[in-house]
Amino acid sequence: MQLSLLLLISMTSQLDSTDMEKIKEAVGLAIEWLDDTEELVEANIYQYKMEELERIYILIISNMLKRRRFT
């Protein structure tokens, strides 16, 4: 997760508004889930949520890189 997050942060200025909104929505939903979740949830559930966010980030980054290649 750390690598894709660092890559995303370094590319933030290159993201279009649609991608930024997708990221904001995904992070907002994850924060809401964390706020509503009991403190003693098993670690694998947190891991699943982190992987869910990572899949969104990777999709956005890969789409952005594809657009750059064909522009």
**Predicted TM-score (pTM) of this structure:** 0.61
Q: Do you know the residue count of the chain?
A: 71
Residue 55 near residue 2, CB atoms below 8 Å: no
Computed on alpha carbons and rounded to an integer, the radius of gyration of the chain in Å comes to 14
The domain limits of the chain are 2-69
Concatenated DSSP letters for 26-67?
Answer: HHHHHHHHHHHS-TT--HHHHHHHHHHHHHHHHHHHHHHHHH
What is the spatial distance between Cα 45 and Cα 11, in angstroms, rounded to a whole number?
29
Instruction: Give the pLDDT of the chain (71 residues) as one tens digit per residue.
Output: 455 666 666 667 777 888 888 888 888 888 888 887 766 677 778 788 888 888 888 888 888 888 878 76
